[in-house]
């Protein structure tokens, strides 16, 4: 069985040939790997996590033959998804490379392995030659849950689909309109069957990363809720109205959306206030992880270029700033981000700020007079203007 594990690992590892060239990902990695701290890579399914793992060989100057890769969605491992498999694989690899000072273990889609968290903690508590990098798209890899098991022993890196600059590396002639239409999932960008792939991604994420999480008996209500949220991206949503439309309880809607957010399918955008209590009293807006995924998942409203630009701006802000909010009084400020306690209002419009946008900003500055100068994101300055943040 150990020999079988190494044979499987050989098909995923790069002991005899370098990884294929790939688009460098615009993500900040830790300065070094360590036997005491695991690197945890998480993000939505099919956004390029496995490729980023292979890029780490060059990024950290590792020797390929000192790196072991295992992908736990390999069907040959279906009967061995237990922490004992992790132990056998790492020990066998250590025996195969007895003279290597450091061995790096890449465990892809590790969430399928029962007991992996505690196995990983045991390795980090007694560090030896192994440096451990794990990845997954399932909510089990969320830092909030990891923290309870790997207290202070992991660094989390989030990966999203390609941004506009990464798309341009693949297709130099691509326009912003192309990016908003096609989105950033890497494989569909290289395929003539892009929309078929994106639709399958949508189904796979719902079934494998969301439905299993909440234990939903049927996927119909879950799919209806997500499609309603995607349709209404950028608008404040009442969970009560969604529940009435889907014929489920409000608590069910809240649980479904929370699971979707944990699986990186969509993200909530709370109302901006310094008080957490006031934020909780207002409805959220929701945005998809990818504009192409949204387009293929909803009706013709998914073709709205202005809405697509707003969705893409939200994702850029989330990557750069973490927490992103919205604000409304008489008019709406699309987004608000913070630097310390100082907020920055952001308006998104295809061609430039209108009177409606300016009136909303006036209201915002009356409420928050010490806020930073507003940023207006347009089709002409996206994403360069966000570099000011």
**Residue range 161-218, pLDDT digits in tens:** 999 999 999 999 999 999 999 999 999 999 999 999 999 999 999 998 898 788 877 7
- Smallest CA-to-CA distance from 184 within 203, 205, 204, 160 is with 160
Q: Residue 249: is its pLDDT beyond 60?
A: yes
Averaged pLDDT for residues 267-291: 93
Is residue 234 within 8 A of residue 285, CB to CB? The reply is yes
Interstrand relation of 325-328 and 332-339 (parallel, antiparallel or unpaired)? antiparallel
Is the pTM above the cut of 0.85? yes
Say what the pLDDT of residue 139 is.
60
Interstrand relation of 342-348 and 332-339 (parallel, antiparallel or unpaired)? antiparallel
Say what the pLDDT of residue 145 is.
63
Q: Residue 141: is its pLDDT beyond 70?
A: no
Q: Residue 144: is its pLDDT beyond 60?
A: no
Specify the residue for token string 């901006």.
272
- Beta sheet of 325-328, edge-to-edge order: 325-328, 332-339, 342-348, 375-377
Tens digits of residue pLDDT in 86-105: 999 999 999 999 999 999 99
% residues pLDDT > 90 (the chain): 77
Q: Residue 143: is its pLDDT beyond 60?
A: no
- Band (pLDDT 50/70/90 cuts) for residue 129 is very high
Tens digits of residue pLDDT in 46-56: 999 999 999 99
């Amino acid at each position: 069985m150990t020999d079988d594990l190494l044979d499987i690992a050989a098909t995923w590892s790069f002991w005899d040939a370098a990884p294929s060239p790939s688009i460098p990902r615009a993500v900040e990695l830790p300065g070094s790997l360590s036997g005491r701290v695991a690197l945890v890579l998480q993000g939505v399914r099919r956004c390029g996590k496995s490729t980023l793992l292979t890029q780490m060989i060059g990024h950290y100057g590792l020797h390929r033959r000192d790196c072991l890769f295992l992908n736990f969605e390999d069907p040959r491992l279906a009967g061995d998804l237990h922490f004992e498999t992790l132990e056998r694989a790492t020990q066998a690899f250590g025996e195969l490379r007895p003279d290597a000072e450091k061995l790096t273990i890449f465990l892809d889609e590790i969430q399928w392995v029962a007991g992996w968290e505690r196995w990983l903690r045991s390795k980090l508590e007694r560090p030896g030659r192994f440096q451990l990098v794990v990845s997954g798209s399932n909510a089990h890899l969320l830092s909030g849950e990891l923290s309870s098991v790997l207290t202070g022993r992991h660094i989390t890196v989030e990966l999203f689909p390609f941004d506009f600059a990464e798309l341009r590396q693949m297709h130099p002639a691509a326009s912003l309109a192309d990016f908003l239409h096609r989105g950033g999932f890497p494989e569909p960008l290289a395929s003539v069957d892009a929309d078929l792939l994106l639709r399958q991604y949508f189904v796979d994420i719902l079934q494998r990363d969301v439905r299993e999480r909440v234990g939903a008996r049927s996927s119909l209500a879950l799919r209806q809720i997500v499609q309603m949220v995607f349709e209404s991206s950028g608008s404040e949503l009442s969970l009560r109205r969604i529940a009435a439309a889907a014929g489920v309880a409000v608590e069910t809607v809240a649980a479904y959306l929370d699971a979707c957010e944990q699986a990186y399918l969509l993200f909530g955008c709370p109302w901006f206030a310094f008080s957490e209590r006031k934020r909780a009293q207002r409805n959220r807006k929701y945005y998809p992880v990818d504009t192409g995924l949204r387009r293929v998942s909803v009706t013709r409203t998914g073709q709205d270029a202005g809405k697509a630009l707003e969705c893409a701006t939200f994702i850029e802000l989330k990557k750069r700033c973490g927490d992103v909010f919205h604000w409304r009084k008489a008019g709406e400020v699309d987004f608000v981000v913070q630097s310390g306690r100082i907020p920055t209002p952001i308006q998104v419009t295809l061609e430039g700020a209108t009177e409606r946008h300016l009136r909303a900003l006036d209201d915002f500055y009356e409420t928050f007079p010490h806020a930073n100068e507003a940023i207006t994101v347009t089709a002409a300055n996206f994403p360069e203007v966000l570099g000011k943040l």
